[in-house]
Amino acid sequence: MSRPTPPTGSPFTAPAWIAVISVVGLVSALLGNGVYDVVSWVVFAGLIGLVVRAWVRRTR
């Protein structure tokens, strides 16, 4: 009998990337107007989309 291969990667990788992207969105919202506002809206819309995707996949 062979052992299953363990997953490669840390369980903290995805949450770390989510945290970094959130900080980018927050800092861009605080820095200025115009392009910075667009960046912050895109980042936070993406994060909301990520949460909705995870929620839908979990309920299946």
For the chain, how many structural domains are there in total?
1
Measured CA to CA, the distance from residue 11 to residue 55 in angstroms comes to 18
- Residue 14 domain-assigned (yes or no): no
Q: Which domain holds residue 47?
A: 33-60
- Residue 10 domain-assigned (yes or no): no
pTM: 0.74
Structure tokens at 13: 């990788």
Phi, psi of 19 (to 5 degrees): -65, -45
pLDDT, tens digit (0-9, with 9 covering 90-100), for 3-60: 777 667 788 998 999 999 999 999 999 998 999 999 999 999 999 999 999 999 988 7
- Residue 22 domain-assigned (yes or no): no
Q: Using alpha carbons only, what angle is made at residue 7 by residues 19 and 54, rounded to the nearest 5 degrees?
A: 45
- Residue 15 domain-assigned (yes or no): no
- Residue 44 domain-assigned (yes or no): yes
Measured CA to CA, the distance from residue 40 to residue 53 in angstroms comes to 20
- Residue 25 domain-assigned (yes or no): no
- Residue 45 domain-assigned (yes or no): yes
